[in-house]
Structure 1
Amino acid sequence: MQHSIPPGGRVSGFRLAKLLGEWRRRGARHGSADLAAAVRMLVLDGRLPAGTRLPAEREMAEALPVSRTMVSAALDQLRAEGLVASRRGAGTWISLPSGGALVGGADTPLVGSSMVDFARAAPPAIPGLLPAFDAVRARLPEQLVDHGYYEHGVPELRRRIAQRFEARGLPTSPDQILVTSGAQHALALVLRMLTGPGDRVLVEQPSYPNALDAIKAMSAIPVPVAMTDTGWDLPGIAAALRQAAPRMAYVVPDFHNPTAHRMDAETRAGLADLARRARTPLVVDETIVELDLDGDPLDGPPPVASYADDLVVTLGSASKSHWAGLRIGWIRASTEVVHRLVSSRTALDLGSAVLDQMVLAELLTEPESGLADRRRHLAGQRDVLMAGLREHLPQWRFDRPGGGLSVWCELDAPVSTRIAVVAQNHGMRLAPGARFGAHGGFERWLRLPFVLPPDVLREAVRRLGLVAAAVSGGGSVPHQEVEVPVA
């Protein structure tokens, strides 16, 4: 397998030649077009991320080997498409067409009017996505002769998802899997089945903002239980189960969003025991379980369903591990619960996109081939972000996350919303801490994702330091809510 370049890094001529492989297909007359097409494929496939510095034309020509004129013509074509950008004295780097993500230049990786999106903890597509589409395309005709509706999901994908649970030590049959259009869709289906207006739902405090929004959209009432500095407060959960009698509990045990805590096996067993005693269904969000940056996800604590299979509904998604644009999630539950969900689903939709399901099934054929690369890059970006925070914001406190996509920072004053407001004038979009509370609060906290290229992270943290200094200086900042999409 050819590994991708770390986002924001520099690719040498030798490395670029190795990534390109046998790129020349149609002879010398079309050499520049073939070279441009080969580089374009690497960009779209994620192996040359936005911000990657390209070698000089002379170095590239010597490495391939081709004429410098051919290299220049290929780069001109890519510049016209917006996939490559250059500046005198700064070199050439991978860009994205207008409306794409941020790119890196020599002096500043923040180009034009683009904003650093620190609100969405969602990485770009995993390397290998485009080849998966190509592999699936050959098998697509067999689907086109049928109606294309799979209320449960494409059988091959359900089988692959079940196998991944099996690899983590949880026996699972494809009949226990329901494919959805993302984890948010999965949660909406479960909430619709288990709750109604006025019902209480136990949640962690803080919690994932979109989950809180989904609960409130059902006119249900979130009942928050504060997390401790080290994780989950089982006595607090037990008290909430007794006193509030919630219809269900929503928890994120693996690299919790936003704190990045991970629930150990003993706590999982204790939580399952509490739920069993109260007969309260546990809805367990495993969206980030594959992003163990310090170890192997298969060696982590057992899934919560291992301790109370009859009471646990597990949610999963490809959005964080592979690409949010696939819009594929899933539910693992008992076959009885899956049948109930399918029966109620038809009032909302008739199934998820077949092509996207086939692509994810292809990627899950050898899941570690792409996920190992994803975890390695994220670990590097995590370290870049933490180094920047120590340099520019030493007064802020944070723990090193063992996995996930973000750092949960404790500020030196309750100014989270003020910082989010001022940051917009410095080219950054932040989700204030209040977004992560069931009823607001968390003005001393900010979640900072590390899904952006290293150069962007370094510059963004530098700017964040300027913002924090301006806010602490007592300048006038208008009071307002910060409405930004959060992922």
Structure 2
Amino acid sequence: MASRLVEQLGAENVSGASAIALSEQIRAVILDGRMTVGERLPSERALAFELRRSRSTVTRAYDLLEADGYVSRLHGGGTRVALPNAYVPPTASDDVSAIDLSIASMDSTPGLYDATVRSLPRLAALRGTSGYSLQGLPELRDAVAQRFIQRSLPTSPDEIIITSGALNALNLILTTIGRRGERALVEQPTFPHAMDSLHLHGYRIVPTPVDVDGWDAVHLMDVLLKVRPHVAYLIPDFHNPTGATLPEHVRDRIAATARNAGTHLIIDETTAELDIDRGWTPTPLSAFGPHVITIGSMSKIAWGGMRLGWIRAERDLIRRLLAVRPSFELGTALLEQCIAVELLADMPALTSHVRARLHAGREAVSAGLDGLPGLHMPPTPGGLSAWVDLGAPLSTRLALAARDHGLIVPPGPRFTVGGVLERRLRLPITLTPERTAEAMSRLRSAWDDLRTGASVPDRALKQAAVI
């Protein structure tokens, strides 16, 4: 069985690599967050055996990493992941000239300010209460339920819990129903922080492939029946990062198969409203069975600063979730809930703004990639990003090269299990056209560096990080 390091590197990606190249790849995995500080790495002998390289090559790679502070080595204690003492993960705020493409999110909707002002009387009326809202304001739960009803899925406010964002919702679900050591099915690629949450709750992850052309439905259902995972985390609408949408007839089959396998389906709908020109609106996957749990969020359609999401589930599970929630949280902030009520009351304006912004962002990314040899941007009918094909396994090298040009972009393997998909790069379509044009100019410079054989400056390698 391969070590976690080799799974993250992808043995084929480092086949024949020199000691310097191997150390750079390991450093990239550490800085991506795919290996955690303090985690033990394979011994020199074991890693050499796994990679079919000489032990001296691995020893030299570890020496280089130790010299730069990326591993610590103790006699009898093995080699463990570390970070340099002076290391501070850079963000766009550390350097005002940097452009951060690791976060695929738009700035706030123009209606946010007015919605906030309109929400204040509602908030003021709550001053006589305790201020704690374990399940969420009744009027907000009703507004969320109405969104499902408008999509042909009958829903009661009693089937809704308001949470502090979608990731908070996922962690509440896993805290309530999770089983350490069980298997979890995820798409490959998928939202990295969802994988982090599943790892945190002790799940062993089993991937199923999805690409811009869609899912391998046969493989997905075969895994459900043979592996019988405890949970399956899926993003069926404008999948992050590929942008694909799961066909209606496949939704029905997946729900039925998961029910037969005893698998809890956790459906992430945070991107479901991000339509540009898909041309059709699918039925929510929750419509195909009461065992389906749905997660939603305001962060992608209104603003990432609004940490507000929700869970839709059958009433028995809602009661269990409410029983567990006080162990780590006593509800969602009331101001965000009051604002969300106002925003959801004017969804046509909200979705119109989202559509226009995403369309402009998509066109800007397409224009910026035009003429770059070897790169292909697939059709992107909606969602957060374009899942760009680089034509060769260069994603990590390109991400590192981009750092020297003030561009933070996560490589394809950050979205995967096992360090694969080095041919892919996620490019957000959420920035303004002007900001996107500048980002694409910097990406072009990094791409030119790779094509001309320019080396990645050591300072860029030492400061690379994905947030």
TM-score, reference length from structure 1 = 0.74
Task: Provide the secondary structure at the position in 1 that maps to 2:126.
Answer: helix
* Code of the aligned partner of 2:325: R
Aligned with 2:370 (options 384, 390, 398): 390
Residue 430 of structure 2 corresponds to residue 451 of structure 1: yes
Q: 1:246 to 1:112 in 2, by over 3 A?
A: closer
Deviates more, 1:219-228 or 1:120-129: 219-228
Supply the distance in 2 between the matched residues of 1:265 and 1:408 (Cα, whole angstroms): 23
Residue 448 (structure 2) aligns with: 469
Residue 315 of structure 2 corresponds to residue 340 of structure 1: no
Task: Give 1:225 shift.
Answer: 0.8
Deviates more, 1:473-482 or 1:334-343: 473-482
Residue 110 (structure 2) aligns with: 127
Task: Provide the secondary structure at the position in 1 that maps to 2:118.
Answer: helix
Task: Give 1:273 shift.
Answer: 1.8
* Code of the aligned partner of 1:226: P
Supply the distance in 1 between the matched residues of 2:360 and 2:232 (Cα, whole angstroms): 34
Q: Is the 8 Å Cα contact of residues 274 and 301 (structure 2) preserved in structure 1? A: yes
Q: 1:413 to 1:241 in 2, by over 3 A?
A: same
**1:130-153 residue CA offsets vs partner (Å, 9 max, x unmatched):** 111111112322111110111100
Task: Provide the secondary structure at the position in 2 that maps to 1:368.
Answer: helix
Residue 162 (structure 2) aligns with: 179
Task: Give 1:476 shift.
Answer: 2.8
Residue 118 (structure 1) aligns with: 101
* Code of the aligned partner of 1:184: L
Residue 306 (structure 1) aligns with: 287
Residue 257 (structure 2) aligns with: 274
**1:183-213 residue CA offsets vs partner (Å, 9 max, x unmatched):** 0000111112222221110000111111111
Task: Give 1:483 shift.
Answer: 2.5
Residue 414 of structure 2 corresponds to residue 435 of structure 1: yes
Task: Give 1:176 shift.
Answer: 0.3
Supply the distance in 2 between the matched residues of 1:101 and 1:471 (Cα, whole angstroms): 23
Residue 216 (structure 2) aligns with: 233
Supply the distance in 2 between the matched residues of 1:112 and 1:280 (Cα, whole angstroms): 45
Residue 274 of structure 2 corresponds to residue 291 of structure 1: yes
TM-score, reference length from structure 2 = 0.77
**1:322-361 residue CA offsets vs partner (Å, 9 max, x unmatched):** 1111100000010111111111111010100011001001
Residue 63 (structure 1) aligns with: none
Supply the distance in 2 between the matched residues of 1:335 and 1:131 (Cα, whole angstroms): 35
| Structure 1 stretches of at least 4 aligned residues deviating more than 4 Å after TM superposition | 99-102, 478-482
Supply the distance in 2 between the matched residues of 1:165 and 1:196 (Cα, whole angstroms): 29
**1:389-444 residue CA offsets vs partner (Å, 9 max, x unmatched):** 113x2421121211111100011221111111111110111111111002222211
Give the unaligned 5+ runs of structure 1.
1-98, 103-110
Residue 373 of structure 2 corresponds to residue 426 of structure 1: no
Supply the distance in 1 between the matched residues of 2:226 and 2:464 (Cα, whole angstroms): 34
Task: Give 1:473 shift.
Answer: 2.4
Residue 208 of structure 2 corresponds to residue 260 of structure 1: no
Q: Is the 8 Å Cα contact of residues 258 and 406 (structure 1) preserved in structure 2? A: yes
Aligned with 2:332 (options 341, 352, 357): 352
* Code of the aligned partner of 1:418: R
Q: Is the 8 Å Cα contact of residues 293 and 378 (structure 1) preserved in structure 2? A: yes
Supply the distance in 2 between the matched residues of 1:425 and 1:147 (Cα, whole angstroms): 51
Q: 1:423 to 1:366 in 2, by over 3 A?
A: same
Task: Give 1:311 shift.
Answer: 1.2
Task: Provide the secondary structure at the position in 1 that maps to 2:274.
Answer: coil
Residue 466 (structure 2) aligns with: 484
Supply the distance in 2 between the matched residues of 1:173 and 1:259 (Cα, whole angstroms): 32
Aligned with 1:319 (options 256, 279, 299): 299
Structure showing greater relative contact order (alpha-carbon pairs closer than 8 Å, 6 or more residues apart): 2
Residue 396 of structure 2 corresponds to residue 417 of structure 1: yes
Q: Is the 8 Å Cα contact of residues 113 and 427 (structure 1) preserved in structure 2? A: no
Task: Give 1:251 shift.
Answer: 0.2
* Code of the aligned partner of 1:361: V
Supply the distance in 2 between the matched residues of 1:100 and 1:410 (Cα, whole angstroms): 26
Task: Give 1:468 shift.
Answer: 1.0
Residue 141 of structure 2 corresponds to residue 152 of structure 1: no
Q: 1:481 to 1:259 in 2, by over 3 A?
A: farther
Supply the distance in 2 between the matched residues of 1:162 and 1:400 (Cα, whole angstroms): 32
Task: Provide the secondary structure at the position in 2 that maps to 1:344.
Answer: helix
Task: Provide the secondary structure at the position in 2 that maps to 1:138.
Answer: helix
Q: Is the 8 Å Cα contact of residues 145 and 156 (structure 2) preserved in structure 1? A: yes
Supply the distance in 2 between the matched residues of 1:261 and 1:348 (Cα, whole angstroms): 35
Task: Give 1:380 shift.
Answer: 1.5
Matched residues, number: 375
Task: Provide the secondary structure at the position in 2 that maps to 1:144.
Answer: coil
Supply the distance in 2 between the matched residues of 1:295 and 1:262 (Cα, whole angstroms): 9
Task: Give 1:305 shift.
Answer: 0.9
Q: 1:117 to 1:454 in 2, by over 3 A?
A: same
Task: Provide the secondary structure at the position in 2 that maps to 1:447.
Answer: strand
Give the unaligned 5+ runs of structure 2.
1-89
Task: Give 1:455 shift.
Answer: 1.4
Q: Is the 8 Å Cα contact of residues 194 and 248 (structure 1) preserved in structure 2? A: no
Supply the distance in 2 between the matched residues of 1:464 and 1:228 (Cα, whole angstroms): 23
Supply the distance in 2 between the matched residues of 1:307 and 1:200 (Cα, whole angstroms): 23
* 1:394-405 pair list within 5 angstroms: 394-405=373-384
Residue 357 (structure 2) aligns with: 377
Supply the distance in 2 between the matched residues of 1:133 and 1:262 (Cα, whole angstroms): 33
Deviates more, 1:393-402 or 1:310-319: 393-402
Residue 190 (structure 2) aligns with: 207
* Code of the aligned partner of 1:247: H
Task: Give 1:472 shift.
Answer: 2.6
Aligned with 1:406 (options 357, 381, 385): 385
Task: Provide the secondary structure at the position in 2 that maps to 1:448.
Answer: strand
Q: Is the 8 Å Cα contact of residues 122 and 338 (structure 2) preserved in structure 1? A: no
Task: Provide the secondary structure at the position in 1 that maps to 2:302.
Answer: helix
**1:235-260 residue CA offsets vs partner (Å, 9 max, x unmatched):** 11122123322101000000000000
Q: Identity percentage over the alignment?
A: 39
Supply the distance in 2 between the matched residues of 1:480 and 1:202 (Cα, whole angstroms): 34
Supply the distance in 1 between the matched residues of 2:192 and 2:356 (Cα, whole angstroms): 27
